[in-house]
Amino acid sequence: MMHTHVLILQFTEAKYHGLVNQGATCYLNSVLQVLFMTEDFREAVKRSSKQNVGIGLLGALTDLFDNLQKHTANTHKIITQLGISRVYEQRDAAECIEKILTMTSPEASQIFHGLLANQITCSKGHKETDRDAPFWHLPLSLVDFYNQDYSVVNGIEEFFRPTCLNGEHQMYCDRCGHKVDATITDVIKHHPDVLILLLKRFEFNYSYMSYFKTSCFVEVPYSLQIQGNEVYELYAVVDHFGGLRGGHYSATIKTQDEDRWYKFDDTQVTPVRLIAFSSV
């Protein structure tokens, strides 16, 4: 007797969808998936698009987000609005997301918008705040970590570490009336709702007159406390593989409704299980 195996399969519609790579636009796809999966940003874009009759980049983003909820989508309208003429030329994801945010509405972009300032404290304890600087991301340099692991927690501590000004670098204090030793510290005057950290892996080598990538292991915590006791929870990582002029981008994102992680790699969207998160 011949035994047969009957497989009964139930069709399930994919909940998340990918983006078509238009040449070398994986950097754009990765950024757009992060923005799409950021629910507050997605809803703010839709509201702003209705108020502005769906024109420009706002309209293109709204159409893209609507399509992504139904099927694999393309980015033709987005590419046109961003003025990307060479789709086979890979660009930087951090520059891409900054450009998108500057071109959207204030309501949508403010979610990622922060404000830094320099706080100068003299040796007598007098404080002065200077040089307000808006930011879309905090840059963390990895160039000194060629042969050792890098910790994002330590990187944040280093970013906000006070710089001592003494000797010939003393600062003039108005309240003291003369030059004194002082410290200068970056302080966050406004914390963004969503904080972007930029891991700077590329360093220019003047001997070779070229950029080199630091491929060290990076320890990324799921929860990170920033200056002022603000706590941020990790929900998205954009990874770059390869060198400065080539390689590939993908995004790993945690869904807000399911609390599950998915990898978004152009048209491919696959669930992943993460026990410890790292980046190389």
Give me the pLDDT at residue 280, please: 47
Closest C-alpha among 215, 237, 239, 238 to residue 149: 215
CATH class of 25-272: alpha beta
Give me the pLDDT at residue 3, please: 47
H or E element that contains 40: helix 39-51
Sites in the chain below the pLDDT cut of 70: 1-14, 53-54, 143-147, 202-213, 243-245, 274-280
pTM here? 0.85
User: 260 near 271, Cβ under 8 Å?
Assistant: yes
What tokens appear for 227 in the block? 């200056």
* pLDDT, tens digit (0-9, with 9 covering 90-100), for 11-32: 444 689 999 999 999 999 999 9
User: 219 near 148, Cβ under 8 Å?
Assistant: no
Give me the pLDDT at residue 107, please: 94
Give me the pLDDT at residue 28, please: 97
